[in-house]
Structure 1
């Protein structure tokens, strides 16, 4: 079995932002640079999805996601924020862990499976704590990729 989404090391980073819009912009820029995607398209699709309702998951986590053309499989980015920001989350808690997901336009079930996998990962208390305490971007990537690889095996 293969992983439900691709996460590249350069798509994982710590960010200093001060608002929900700045979070979405950083997610957009990470997708654009890591996966060579058009930033305007990514930005538009993420904002369209966010307009339907906040992707603030709760427990300090947001999972902004969208579907875009020209992708062959789901791709992800991860941000750990230096300071939590308001994100209109379901529990009204500010967000400091952000897992972005983009899927191909026609990836109905694959998109939902990838979202479910991210949701399970972010609900795990030990993983949540480890991500919050990781000393570097490399450590963040290692934590996430180990789980992705384990779950795909």
Structure 2
């Protein structure tokens, strides 16, 4: 399986607007709700619960917020490039401008961890990250992710 199996072209946002971490998580929750049919509030609550354990801002302007919900049938994600970076309480203190959201079933176990690792691995490529940051076109952004998405074992 590839990350592109988890995100569809309509789950990629090239110029998302948010001014705070909370507003960003709410916006991502709203968009995830529209794509999945799940309640936005439940998604938001799951993300907040995870953030209370520690920031999912992994450094260098990247965050991978994630949560688990009982109503989710399979892992899905959203990728967003922010118009302006926001403070995400990241490990390195840098503001975040690239976000890969993952929502998984409560029973996903190792598959959830593999999906997180795959997203982190893709976003550790400095060349890809620089190209993503320079891309403002939705289709081009999805194409970049699709071309560079490495398979992971599910």
Corresponding residue for 2:2? 3
Aligned residue pairs total 151
* TM-score normalized with structure 2 length: 0.92
Stretch of structure 1 that moved more, 130-139 or 90-99: 130-139
Distance (Å, rounded) in 1 between the aligned partners of 2:38 and 2:145: 22
Alignment of 1:111-126 (within 5 A): 111-126=112-127
Runs of 4+ in 1 over 4 A off after TM superposition: none
Corresponding residue for 1:86? 87
Give unmatched runs, 5+ long, in structure 2. Answer: none
Q: Is 1:71 aligned to residue 72 of structure 2?
A: yes
Corresponding residue for 1:151? 151
* TM-score normalized with structure 1 length: 0.92
Distance (Å, rounded) in 1 between the aligned partners of 2:120 and 2:80: 15
CA drift of 1:25 comes to 0.9
RMSD of Structure 2 on Structure 1 (CA): 1.6
Describe the SS at the equivalent of 1:7: coil
Describe the SS at the equivalent of 2:19: coil
Give unmatched runs, 5+ long, in structure 1. Answer: none
